[in-house]
Amino acid sequence: MIITLTPNPSLDRTISLDGVLARGEVQRAVASHVEPGGKGVNICRALEASGVESLAILPGNALDPVLIALTEAGIPHLGMPIGASIRSNVAITEPDGTTTKVNVPGPVLTPAQQTELIELVLDRADGAGWVVLAGSLPPGAPVDFYADIIRKLRARYGAAAPKVAVDSSGAPFAAAVGAGPDLIKPNGEELAELTGIPDPEALEGNPAMVATASARLVAGGVGAVLATLGAQGAVLTTKDGSWLAQTPPMVAVSTVGAGDSSLAGFLLSDLSGGNAPDSLRQAAAHGAAAASLPGSTVPALNQTKPSDVTVTQLTHPKEDVQ
């Protein structure tokens, strides 16, 4: 069982254009897709598509369009009524896969609602293999919201606590990293921010540098770093080493949710007993499959091609961190 928490979910509309986005002009869309969204929700959608038991926890009223969509899609979920509508986000994709996203803040959660949401996660985490804390925080939530959940999970369950994965950004991500989660999934820009690299572009095309930066986080208490780098692949770093996964060249249809699918693929493999390189391979395969699908559509396991993924071992992190 994998539990996900999406504290700031959304109804995601993806609009596909037949040409380059023309700022300030009127354009006609060739397609439009609407899906319940938010990182944790997307991860559960991908896991359920592959037959993996999961539960999406999120704030939202029972009759909110996002929760209705989850029910219609058969995605197990637990909503916490908040008396407000879940936000709607828009992504615009161009034929070459370039994606422009417009995300709105979302409803404010009061301190009491924040506490209730955390308690839902703590109560349902009993016996779970993983708890995934994913996405941005809603207005009103403290920076250490995710870090607090990690500490409380371990305080309540001790050695039986589920493993914790975090995929966020900015100050909440940095605070969560300080609590020592078992896995984090940054992209290149987020990895640079977490490790103090002033120019994120320095990581482009430089997997050894990505491994070195990731190894600093592992040395600081993070269990593993799964750095997703778009068309350049993904790098996994643990205390035992670093690996680069690369997929064959492809033309992306939509990159919306590809990173979430990558994390779902990694967790799916880990739950089935896959080792680090195997889990990285499945993560890359899931991400590539998601990028080949329209909108925020997530792939099932049988739509992925892990055999097409090349995994190469990189320099051992201990040799990089001095």
User: Which of the residues are catalytic?
Assistant: 260
- Helix residue ranges, H only, the chain: 39-49, 65-73, 111-124, 145-157, 170-178, 188-195, 207-219, 258-271, 276-291, 317-320
Token pair recorded at residue 45: 């959608």
**Residues forming a β-bridge with 158:** none
Pairing of strands 241-246, 234-238: antiparallel
Please tell me the number of Cα atoms within 13 Å of 170 on its side-chain side: 9
| CA 33/CA 315 separation, integer angstroms | 42
Our separate counts of H helices and E strands in the chain read: 10, 14
Write out the H or E segment, with its range, that includes residue 234. strand 234-238
Q: Specify whether the CB–CB gap between 163 and 223 falls below 8 A.
A: yes
Structure tokens at 173: 């991500």
Residue with tokens 């990581």: 203
Residue 217, exposed/middle/buried by CB under 10 A (0-12, 13-18, 19+)?
buried
Q: What is the largest CA-CA distance in the chain?
A: 57
Placement of tokens 């589920």 in the chain? 162
